[in-house]
Chain A
Protein backbone atom coordinates (compact mmCIF):
# COMPACT_ATOMS: atom_id res chain seq x y z
CA UNK A 1 0.00 0.00 0.00
CA UNK A 2 1.61 3.24 -1.14
CA UNK A 3 0.98 6.92 -0.45
CA UNK A 4 -2.66 7.50 -1.08
CA UNK A 5 -3.19 10.91 -2.59
CA UNK A 6 -6.38 10.02 -4.39
CA UNK A 7 -8.38 10.55 -1.24
CA UNK A 8 -8.63 14.18 -0.25
CA UNK A 9 -6.52 15.01 2.76
CA UNK A 10 -8.17 15.57 6.07
CA UNK A 11 -6.40 18.90 6.28
CA UNK A 12 -8.92 20.77 8.35
CA UNK A 13 -8.78 18.31 11.19
CA UNK A 14 -5.18 17.15 10.91
CA UNK A 15 -3.79 20.67 10.68
CA UNK A 16 -5.72 22.21 13.51
CA UNK A 17 -4.96 19.14 15.54
CA UNK A 18 -1.24 19.95 15.44
CA UNK A 19 -1.92 23.38 16.93
CA UNK A 20 -4.05 21.81 19.59
CA UNK A 21 -1.46 19.24 20.53
CA UNK A 22 1.13 21.96 20.95
CA UNK A 23 -1.09 24.36 22.82
CA UNK A 24 -4.03 22.59 24.43
CA UNK A 25 -5.37 25.87 25.79
CA UNK A 26 -5.27 27.48 22.38
CA UNK A 27 -8.34 29.64 21.82
CA UNK A 28 -8.49 28.14 18.34
CA UNK A 29 -9.66 24.83 19.77
CA UNK A 30 -12.61 24.17 17.50
CA UNK A 31 -15.63 21.88 17.61
CA UNK A 32 -14.11 19.38 15.16
CA UNK A 33 -10.94 19.18 17.26
CA UNK A 34 -12.99 18.55 20.36
CA UNK A 35 -14.83 15.75 18.59
CA UNK A 36 -11.74 13.87 17.39
CA UNK A 37 -10.72 13.62 21.03
CA UNK A 38 -14.18 12.74 22.27
CA UNK A 39 -15.04 10.08 19.67
CA UNK A 40 -13.22 6.76 19.48
CA UNK A 41 -11.94 4.77 16.52
CA UNK A 42 -14.83 2.36 17.13
CA UNK A 43 -17.30 5.21 16.62
CA UNK A 44 -16.07 5.92 13.10
CA UNK A 45 -14.70 2.62 11.79
CA UNK A 46 -16.47 0.40 9.34
CA UNK A 47 -17.26 -2.94 10.97
CA UNK A 48 -18.13 -4.90 7.88
CA UNK A 49 -14.70 -5.42 6.35
CA UNK A 50 -14.11 -6.95 2.92
CA UNK A 51 -10.95 -9.06 3.18
CA UNK A 52 -8.75 -11.07 0.84
CA UNK A 53 -6.22 -13.85 1.51
CA UNK A 54 -2.55 -14.00 0.42
CA UNK A 55 -3.63 -16.67 -2.08
CA UNK A 56 -6.24 -14.50 -3.80
CA UNK A 57 -4.93 -13.68 -7.30
CA UNK A 58 -4.07 -10.12 -8.32
CA UNK A 59 -6.31 -10.58 -11.37
CA UNK A 60 -9.28 -11.16 -9.02
CA UNK A 61 -8.54 -8.06 -6.96
CA UNK A 62 -9.95 -5.57 -9.44
CA UNK A 63 -13.40 -7.16 -9.34
CA UNK A 64 -13.34 -7.32 -5.53
CA UNK A 65 -12.50 -3.61 -5.28
CA UNK A 66 -14.99 -2.62 -7.96
CA UNK A 67 -17.90 -4.70 -6.69
CA UNK A 68 -17.50 -3.36 -3.14
CA UNK A 69 -16.52 0.16 -4.20
CA UNK A 70 -13.43 0.16 -2.01
CA UNK A 71 -9.79 1.06 -2.68
CA UNK A 72 -8.05 -1.63 -0.67
CA UNK A 73 -8.53 -4.58 1.67
CA UNK A 74 -6.79 -6.15 4.66
CA UNK A 75 -5.24 -9.53 3.79
CA UNK A 76 -6.12 -12.28 6.25
CA UNK A 77 -4.11 -15.49 6.55
CA UNK A 78 -5.49 -18.20 8.86
CA UNK A 79 -7.50 -15.66 10.80
CA UNK A 80 -4.51 -13.35 11.30
CA UNK A 81 -3.95 -9.98 9.68
CA UNK A 82 -1.07 -10.61 7.27
CA UNK A 83 -1.00 -7.39 5.24
CA UNK A 84 -2.91 -4.80 3.27
CA UNK A 85 -3.44 -4.62 -0.50
CA UNK A 86 -4.58 -1.40 -2.19
CA UNK A 87 -5.60 -0.10 -5.58
CA UNK A 88 -2.14 1.52 -5.89
CA UNK A 89 -0.50 -1.90 -5.55
CA UNK A 90 -2.86 -3.12 -8.24
CA UNK A 91 -2.01 -0.24 -10.60
CA UNK A 92 1.73 -0.75 -10.07
CA UNK A 93 1.33 -4.43 -10.87
CA UNK A 94 -0.72 -3.62 -13.97
CA UNK A 95 1.72 -0.93 -15.16
CA UNK A 96 4.67 -3.29 -14.77
CA UNK A 97 2.91 -5.81 -17.02
CA UNK A 98 3.89 -8.67 -14.72
CA UNK A 99 2.20 -12.08 -14.95
CA UNK A 100 -0.66 -12.94 -12.55
CA UNK A 101 0.44 -13.73 -9.01
CA UNK A 102 -1.05 -14.13 -5.51
CA UNK A 103 -1.83 -10.99 -3.49
CA UNK A 104 0.69 -12.25 -0.92
CA UNK A 105 3.52 -11.28 -3.28
CA UNK A 106 2.41 -7.67 -3.69
CA UNK A 107 0.79 -6.68 -0.40
CA UNK A 108 2.28 -4.35 2.19
CA UNK A 109 3.29 -6.43 5.19
CA UNK A 110 4.51 -3.66 7.45
CA UNK A 111 1.11 -2.88 8.89
CA UNK A 112 0.03 0.00 11.06
CA UNK A 113 -3.03 -0.85 13.10
CA UNK A 114 -5.30 0.92 15.55
CA UNK A 115 -7.25 -0.30 18.57
CA UNK A 116 -11.02 0.24 18.69
CA UNK A 117 -10.89 2.13 22.00
CA UNK A 118 -8.29 4.68 20.94
CA UNK A 119 -9.46 8.26 20.50
CA UNK A 120 -10.24 9.16 16.91
CA UNK A 121 -7.38 11.66 16.91
CA UNK A 122 -4.94 8.71 16.82
CA UNK A 123 -6.51 7.57 13.56
CA UNK A 124 -6.22 11.08 12.11
CA UNK A 125 -2.55 11.20 13.15
CA UNK A 126 -1.71 7.76 11.83
CA UNK A 127 -3.39 8.30 8.46
CA UNK A 128 -1.50 11.58 8.07
CA UNK A 129 1.82 10.17 9.25
CA UNK A 130 1.82 7.04 7.10
CA UNK A 131 0.04 8.43 4.07
CA UNK A 132 -2.02 5.24 3.91
CA UNK A 133 -5.61 5.40 2.72
CA UNK A 134 -6.94 2.95 5.29
CA UNK A 135 -5.85 1.47 8.59
CA UNK A 136 -7.09 -1.87 9.97
CA UNK A 137 -8.54 -1.82 13.49
CA UNK A 138 -7.73 -4.82 15.70
CA UNK A 139 -8.89 -6.11 19.06
CA UNK A 140 -6.32 -5.28 21.72
CA UNK A 141 -6.47 -8.67 23.42
CA UNK A 142 -6.82 -11.12 20.53
CA UNK A 143 -5.28 -9.18 17.67
CA UNK A 144 -8.34 -10.07 15.57
CA UNK A 145 -9.48 -7.67 12.88
CA UNK A 146 -12.60 -5.82 14.07
CA UNK A 147 -12.89 -3.02 11.51
CA UNK A 148 -11.22 -0.66 9.10
CA UNK A 149 -11.02 3.13 9.02
CA UNK A 150 -10.45 5.61 6.19
CA UNK A 151 -10.37 9.41 6.06
CA UNK A 152 -13.80 9.25 4.46
CA UNK A 153 -15.17 7.34 7.46
CA UNK A 154 -13.78 9.96 9.83
CA UNK A 155 -15.23 12.88 7.88
CA UNK A 156 -18.60 11.14 7.67
CA UNK A 157 -18.64 10.43 11.41
CA UNK A 158 -17.69 13.99 12.32
CA UNK A 159 -20.40 15.44 10.12
CA UNK A 160 -22.95 13.10 11.61
CA UNK A 161 -21.84 13.95 15.13
CA UNK A 162 -22.03 17.67 14.43
CA UNK A 163 -25.55 17.20 13.14
CA UNK A 164 -26.65 15.26 16.23
CA UNK A 165 -25.04 17.80 18.56
CA UNK A 166 -26.77 20.57 16.68
CA UNK A 167 -30.10 18.81 17.14
CA UNK A 168 -29.49 18.41 20.87
CA UNK A 169 -28.39 22.03 21.22
CA UNK A 170 -31.54 23.21 19.48
CA UNK A 171 -33.57 21.72 22.33
CA UNK A 172 -31.38 23.37 24.94
CA UNK A 173 -31.37 26.73 23.20
CA UNK A 174 -35.12 26.95 23.49
CA UNK A 175 -35.12 25.95 27.11
CA UNK A 176 -37.85 27.82 28.82
CA UNK A 177 -37.28 26.92 32.45
CA UNK A 178 -37.34 30.62 33.39
CA UNK A 179 -40.82 31.11 31.99
CA UNK A 180 -42.65 30.83 35.31
CA UNK A 181 -40.36 33.41 36.88
CA UNK A 182 -40.96 35.81 34.02
CA UNK A 183 -44.73 35.65 34.06
CA UNK A 184 -46.39 37.59 36.88
CA UNK A 185 -49.66 36.50 38.39
CA UNK A 186 -51.19 34.96 41.48
CA UNK A 187 -51.76 31.84 39.50
CA UNK A 188 -49.94 30.94 36.29
CA UNK A 189 -50.59 27.88 34.17
CA UNK A 190 -49.24 26.89 30.79
CA UNK A 191 -51.67 24.83 28.75
CA UNK A 192 -51.00 22.94 25.53
CA UNK A 193 -53.19 20.50 23.64
CA UNK A 194 -52.62 17.82 20.99
CA UNK A 195 -55.18 15.99 18.91
CA UNK A 196 -54.87 12.19 18.73
CA UNK A 197 -56.10 10.21 15.76
CA UNK A 198 -57.94 6.98 16.57
CA UNK A 199 -56.88 3.60 15.12
CA UNK A 200 -53.67 5.03 13.65
CA UNK A 201 -50.95 2.94 15.22
CA UNK A 202 -48.06 4.53 13.33
CA UNK A 203 -48.80 8.05 14.61
CA UNK A 204 -49.63 6.97 18.16
CA UNK A 205 -47.35 8.47 20.74
CA UNK A 206 -46.55 11.66 18.87
CA UNK A 207 -48.71 13.77 21.21
CA UNK A 208 -46.92 12.34 24.26
CA UNK A 209 -43.57 12.77 22.56
CA UNK A 210 -44.32 16.48 22.08
CA UNK A 211 -45.54 16.73 25.66
CA UNK A 212 -42.32 15.14 26.92
CA UNK A 213 -40.12 17.52 24.92
CA UNK A 214 -42.08 20.52 26.16
CA UNK A 215 -41.80 19.44 29.80
CA UNK A 216 -38.05 18.90 29.31
CA UNK A 217 -37.74 22.41 27.93
CA UNK A 218 -39.56 23.78 30.93
CA UNK A 219 -36.68 22.38 32.97
CA UNK A 220 -38.84 19.98 35.00
CA UNK A 221 -37.03 17.18 36.83
CA UNK A 222 -36.36 14.25 34.41
CA UNK A 223 -37.93 11.69 36.79
CA UNK A 224 -41.18 13.66 36.84
CA UNK A 225 -41.09 14.24 33.08
CA UNK A 226 -40.65 10.50 32.62
CA UNK A 227 -43.69 9.69 34.77
CA UNK A 228 -45.82 12.26 32.95
CA UNK A 229 -44.65 10.95 29.56
CA UNK A 230 -45.41 7.30 30.39
CA UNK A 231 -48.86 8.14 31.83
CA UNK A 232 -49.71 10.33 28.84
CA UNK A 233 -48.46 7.72 26.37
CA UNK A 234 -50.53 4.95 27.97
CA UNK A 235 -53.60 7.21 27.82
CA UNK A 236 -52.84 8.19 24.23
CA UNK A 237 -52.50 4.50 23.32
CA UNK A 238 -55.97 3.91 24.81
CA UNK A 239 -57.39 6.69 22.60
CA UNK A 240 -55.80 5.08 19.53
CA UNK A 241 -56.85 1.53 20.42
CA UNK A 242 -60.40 2.04 21.69
CA UNK A 243 -61.74 5.33 20.32
CA UNK A 244 -61.99 7.35 17.13
CA UNK A 245 -59.58 9.85 18.60
CA UNK A 246 -59.53 12.61 21.15
CA UNK A 247 -57.31 15.18 22.80
CA UNK A 248 -54.44 15.23 25.26
CA UNK A 249 -54.28 18.52 27.14
CA UNK A 250 -51.49 19.32 29.55
CA UNK A 251 -51.63 22.18 32.02
CA UNK A 252 -48.42 22.98 33.86
CA UNK A 253 -48.15 25.09 36.98
CA UNK A 254 -44.92 25.61 38.90
CA UNK A 255 -45.91 22.92 41.40
CA UNK A 256 -47.91 20.44 39.36
CA UNK A 257 -48.72 18.93 35.96
CA UNK A 258 -52.27 18.05 35.02
CA UNK A 259 -52.99 15.95 31.93
CA UNK A 260 -56.55 15.69 30.64
CA UNK A 261 -57.33 12.98 28.12
CA UNK A 262 -60.76 13.26 26.51
CA UNK A 263 -62.64 11.32 23.89
CA UNK A 264 -66.20 11.08 22.57
CA UNK A 265 -66.82 7.36 22.96
CA UNK A 266 -67.46 4.47 23.19
CA UNK A 267 -67.03 4.82 26.98
CA UNK A 268 -66.11 2.29 29.68
CA UNK A 269 -69.11 0.27 31.02
CA UNK A 270 -67.43 -0.84 34.27
CA UNK A 271 -64.58 1.35 35.50
CA UNK A 272 -63.77 -0.85 38.47
CA UNK A 273 -63.30 -3.80 36.15
CA UNK A 274 -61.25 -1.71 33.71
CA UNK A 275 -58.89 -0.80 36.54
CA UNK A 276 -58.16 -4.47 37.32
CA UNK A 277 -54.62 -5.44 36.25
CA UNK A 278 -54.86 -7.73 33.24
CA UNK A 279 -58.44 -6.84 32.28
CA UNK A 280 -58.58 -5.88 28.63
CA UNK A 281 -60.98 -5.77 25.72
CA UNK A 282 -58.29 -5.02 23.16
CA UNK A 283 -58.45 -6.78 19.81
CA UNK A 284 -55.90 -9.28 18.57
CA UNK A 285 -53.90 -6.90 16.38
CA UNK A 286 -53.34 -4.59 19.35
CA UNK A 287 -52.09 -7.48 21.49
CA UNK A 288 -49.74 -8.61 18.73
CA UNK A 289 -48.14 -5.20 18.89
CA UNK A 290 -47.41 -5.72 22.57
CA UNK A 291 -50.18 -3.51 23.93
CA UNK A 292 -53.68 -4.06 25.30
CA UNK A 293 -52.53 -6.31 28.13
CA UNK A 294 -54.80 -4.62 30.63
CA UNK A 295 -51.97 -2.73 32.30
CA UNK A 296 -52.53 0.74 30.84
CA UNK A 297 -54.80 2.27 33.49
CA UNK A 298 -52.91 0.46 36.25
CA UNK A 299 -49.67 1.94 34.99
CA UNK A 300 -51.17 5.41 34.64
CA UNK A 301 -52.24 5.26 38.28
CA UNK A 302 -48.75 4.09 39.27
CA UNK A 303 -47.12 7.02 37.47
CA UNK A 304 -49.50 9.67 38.79
CA UNK A 305 -50.05 11.19 42.22
CA UNK A 306 -53.82 11.26 41.70
CA UNK A 307 -56.05 10.09 38.91
CA UNK A 308 -59.72 10.64 38.07
CA UNK A 309 -61.62 8.60 35.52
CA UNK A 310 -65.15 9.45 34.46
CA UNK A 311 -66.89 7.62 31.64
CA UNK A 312 -70.34 7.36 30.09
CA UNK A 313 -71.09 4.60 27.62
CA UNK A 314 -71.88 6.08 24.22
CA UNK A 315 -70.77 9.55 25.34
CA UNK A 316 -67.08 9.39 26.09
CA UNK A 317 -64.33 9.16 28.68
CA UNK A 318 -62.48 11.80 30.64
CA UNK A 319 -59.23 10.87 32.34
CA UNK A 320 -57.41 13.39 34.53
CA UNK A 321 -53.85 12.69 35.66
CA UNK A 322 -52.23 14.78 38.42
CA UNK A 323 -48.48 14.80 38.99
CA UNK A 324 -46.99 16.94 41.76
CA UNK A 325 -43.74 18.60 40.78
CA UNK A 326 -42.28 19.03 44.24
CA UNK A 327 -43.41 15.68 45.57
CA UNK A 328 -40.54 13.62 46.96
CA UNK A 329 -42.29 10.39 46.16
CA UNK A 330 -40.27 8.79 43.36
CA UNK A 331 -42.70 6.70 41.45
CA UNK A 332 -42.33 4.84 38.15
Chain B
Protein backbone atom coordinates (compact mmCIF):
# COMPACT_ATOMS: atom_id res chain seq x y z
CA UNK B 1 0.00 0.00 0.00
CA UNK B 2 1.13 3.51 -0.76
CA UNK B 3 0.90 4.79 2.83
CA UNK B 4 3.30 2.02 3.90
CA UNK B 5 5.78 3.16 1.23
CA UNK B 6 5.46 6.79 2.34
CA UNK B 7 6.35 5.69 5.86
CA UNK B 8 9.29 3.45 4.86
CA UNK B 9 10.86 6.16 2.70
CA UNK B 10 10.05 9.10 5.02
CA UNK B 11 8.54 10.52 1.86
CA UNK B 12 6.38 13.56 1.24
CA UNK B 13 3.40 13.52 -1.08
CA UNK B 14 3.27 16.35 -3.59
CA UNK B 15 0.62 17.16 -6.16
CA UNK B 16 -3.08 16.68 -5.78
CA UNK B 17 -3.51 12.95 -6.17
CA UNK B 18 -3.17 11.70 -2.63
CA UNK B 19 -5.01 8.41 -2.58
CA UNK B 20 -2.98 6.50 -0.04
CA UNK B 21 -4.89 3.29 -0.51
CA UNK B 22 -3.48 2.82 -4.00
CA UNK B 23 -1.92 -0.63 -4.33
CA UNK B 24 1.71 -0.99 -5.34
CA UNK B 25 2.76 -4.52 -6.26
CA UNK B 26 6.41 -4.02 -7.20
CA UNK B 27 9.02 -1.37 -7.82
CA UNK B 28 11.65 -0.30 -10.34
CA UNK B 29 14.49 2.15 -9.72
CA UNK B 30 16.10 3.77 -12.77
CA UNK B 31 17.21 7.02 -14.35
CA UNK B 32 17.05 5.46 -17.78
CA UNK B 33 13.53 6.01 -19.10
CA UNK B 34 14.26 3.64 -22.01
CA UNK B 35 14.78 0.83 -19.49
CA UNK B 36 11.70 1.85 -17.53
CA UNK B 37 9.58 1.66 -20.68
CA UNK B 38 11.05 -1.71 -21.56
CA UNK B 39 10.83 -3.44 -18.19
CA UNK B 40 8.43 -1.83 -15.75
CA UNK B 41 5.09 -3.51 -15.12
CA UNK B 42 1.69 -1.92 -14.59
CA UNK B 43 0.89 -0.94 -10.97
CA UNK B 44 4.58 -0.54 -10.10
CA UNK B 45 6.35 2.18 -8.15
CA UNK B 46 9.00 4.07 -10.14
CA UNK B 47 11.95 5.47 -8.18
CA UNK B 48 14.06 7.96 -10.13
CA UNK B 49 16.51 10.81 -9.78
CA UNK B 50 15.19 12.62 -12.86
CA UNK B 51 12.43 15.18 -12.42
CA UNK B 52 11.58 16.30 -15.96
CA UNK B 53 8.21 16.06 -17.63
CA UNK B 54 9.05 12.90 -19.63
CA UNK B 55 9.29 10.92 -16.39
CA UNK B 56 5.57 11.52 -15.93
CA UNK B 57 4.86 10.77 -19.61
CA UNK B 58 6.77 7.50 -19.28
CA UNK B 59 4.76 6.63 -16.17
CA UNK B 60 1.52 7.52 -17.90
CA UNK B 61 2.24 5.28 -20.90
CA UNK B 62 3.39 2.34 -18.78
CA UNK B 63 0.51 2.56 -16.25
CA UNK B 64 2.95 3.22 -13.41
CA UNK B 65 1.08 3.56 -10.09
CA UNK B 66 3.34 6.02 -8.27
CA UNK B 67 6.51 8.02 -8.95
CA UNK B 68 9.02 8.66 -6.17
CA UNK B 69 11.80 11.23 -6.69
CA UNK B 70 14.94 10.40 -4.70
CA UNK B 71 17.58 12.60 -3.04
CA UNK B 72 14.98 15.24 -2.19
CA UNK B 73 14.61 16.47 -5.77
CA UNK B 74 11.49 18.56 -6.26
CA UNK B 75 9.92 18.54 -9.74
CA UNK B 76 8.84 21.79 -11.39
CA UNK B 77 5.22 22.95 -11.33
CA UNK B 78 4.43 21.80 -14.89
CA UNK B 79 5.63 18.29 -14.02
CA UNK B 80 3.36 18.17 -10.97
CA UNK B 81 0.48 19.49 -13.04
CA UNK B 82 0.90 16.78 -15.67
CA UNK B 83 1.02 14.09 -12.96
CA UNK B 84 -2.17 15.51 -11.44
CA UNK B 85 -3.99 15.35 -14.74
CA UNK B 86 -2.78 11.78 -15.27
CA UNK B 87 -3.86 10.98 -11.66
CA UNK B 88 -0.37 9.74 -10.75
CA UNK B 89 0.68 10.39 -7.13
CA UNK B 90 4.16 11.89 -6.66
CA UNK B 91 6.48 11.30 -3.70
CA UNK B 92 9.75 12.95 -2.73
CA UNK B 93 12.21 11.20 -0.41
CA UNK B 94 15.50 12.56 0.89
CA UNK B 95 17.04 9.08 0.66
CA UNK B 96 19.44 8.19 -2.15
CA UNK B 97 18.31 5.77 -4.86
CA UNK B 98 20.33 2.94 -3.29
CA UNK B 99 18.93 3.43 0.19
CA UNK B 100 15.35 3.93 -0.98
CA UNK B 101 15.43 0.72 -3.05
CA UNK B 102 17.15 -1.13 -0.20
CA UNK B 103 14.53 -0.18 2.34
CA UNK B 104 11.63 -1.22 0.13
CA UNK B 105 13.27 -4.43 -1.04
CA UNK B 106 14.17 -5.51 2.48
CA UNK B 107 10.55 -4.98 3.48
CA UNK B 108 9.38 -7.38 0.79
CA UNK B 109 8.48 -5.17 -2.18
CA UNK B 110 9.69 -7.19 -5.20
CA UNK B 111 11.35 -5.94 -8.37
CA UNK B 112 9.61 -5.93 -11.75
CA UNK B 113 11.56 -8.95 -13.00
CA UNK B 114 10.61 -11.27 -10.16
CA UNK B 115 6.89 -10.58 -10.21
CA UNK B 116 5.72 -12.10 -13.41
Q: Which residues of A contact B (CB under 8 A)?
A: 40, 42-43, 47, 116-117, 157, 160, 164, 167-168, 201-202, 204-205, 208-209, 212, 222-223, 226, 229-230, 232-234, 237, 289-296, 298-299, 302
Q: How far is the CA of A293 from the CA of B62 in the complex (A)?
A: 18
Write out, one digit per residue, whether chain B residues 30-61 have a CB within 8 A of any chain A CB (1) or not (0).
11111111100010000010101111011011
Contact A291 B20 (CB under 8 A): no
Contact B12 A296 (CB under 8 A): no
Any chain A CB within 8 A of the CB of B87?
yes
In this complex, how many residues of chain B approach chain A with their Cβ under 8 Å: the count is 35
Of B18, B57, B85, which contacts A43 at CB under 8 A? Answer: B18
Q: How far is the CA of A302 from the CA of B35 in the complex (A)?
A: 13
Write out, one digit per residue, whether chain B residues 9-26 have a CB within 8 A of any chain A CB (1) or not (0).
000110011111100000
Any chain A CB within 8 A of the CB of B63?
yes
List the A side residues contacting B85 at CB < 8 Å: 167
Q: How far is the CA of A299 from the CA of B78 in the complex (A)?
A: 28
Contact B52 A289 (CB under 8 A): yes
Contact B61 A212 (CB under 8 A): yes
List the B side residues contacting A223 at CB < 8 Å: 42
Of A40, A164, A295, which contacts B38 at CB under 8 A? Answer: A295
The 15 sampled A-B contact pairs (Cβ below 8 Å) are: A117-B3, A201-B52, A201-B54, A202-B78, A208-B57, A212-B61, A226-B63, A229-B60, A232-B61, A290-B30, A290-B54, A295-B35, A295-B37, A298-B38, A299-B38
Q: Main SS of the interface on chain A? A: helix
Q: How far is the CA of A204 from the CA of B54 in the complex (A)?
A: 7
List the A side residues contacting B54 at CB < 8 Å: 201, 204-205, 237, 289-291
Contact A290 B62 (CB under 8 A): no
**Given contact pairs A42-B3, A116-B3, A233-B58, A222 touches B50 in the complex (Cβ within 8 A):** no
Contact B34 A293 (CB under 8 A): yes
List the A side residues contacting B37 at CB < 8 Å: 230, 233-234, 295, 299
* Closest Cβ neighbor of B31 among chain A residues: A290
Could you tell me the distance in whole angstroms from the C-beta of A152 to the nearest C-beta in chain B? 16
Of B3, B12, B18, B33, which contacts A291 at CB under 8 A? Answer: B33
Q: How far is the CA of A157 from the CA of B17 in the complex (A)?
A: 10
Q: How far is the CA of A293 from the CA of B33 in the complex (A)?
A: 9
* Closest Cβ neighbor of A157 among chain B residues: B18
Q: Which of B38, B61, B63 has the most CB of A within 10 A?
A: B61
List the A side residues contacting B34 at CB < 8 Å: 290-296, 299
* Closest Cβ neighbor of B48 among chain A residues: A290
* Closest Cβ neighbor of A116 among chain B residues: B3
Q: How far is the CA of A298 from the CA of B55 in the complex (A)?
A: 20
Contact B62 A230 (CB under 8 A): yes
**Given contact pairs A160-B16, A289-B54, A290-B50, A229 touches B35 in the complex (Cβ within 8 A):** no
Contact A205 B61 (CB under 8 A): yes
CB interface residues, B 47-106, toward A, < 8 Å: 48, 50, 52-55, 57-58, 60-63, 78, 85-87
Contact B42 A222 (CB under 8 A): yes
Could you tell me the distance in whole angstroms from the C-beta of A189 to the nearest C-beta in chain B? 23
List the B side residues contacting A47 at CB < 8 Å: 12-13
List the B side residues contacting A42 at CB < 8 Å: 3, 20
Could you tell me the distance in whole angstroms from the C-beta of A72 to the nearest C-beta in chain B? 23
Could you tell me the distance in whole angstroms from the C-beta of A231 to the nearest C-beta in chain B? 9
Of A117, A167, A168, A208, which contacts B61 at CB under 8 A? Answer: A208
Contact B20 A209 (CB under 8 A): no
List the A side residues contacting B35 at CB < 8 Å: 293, 295
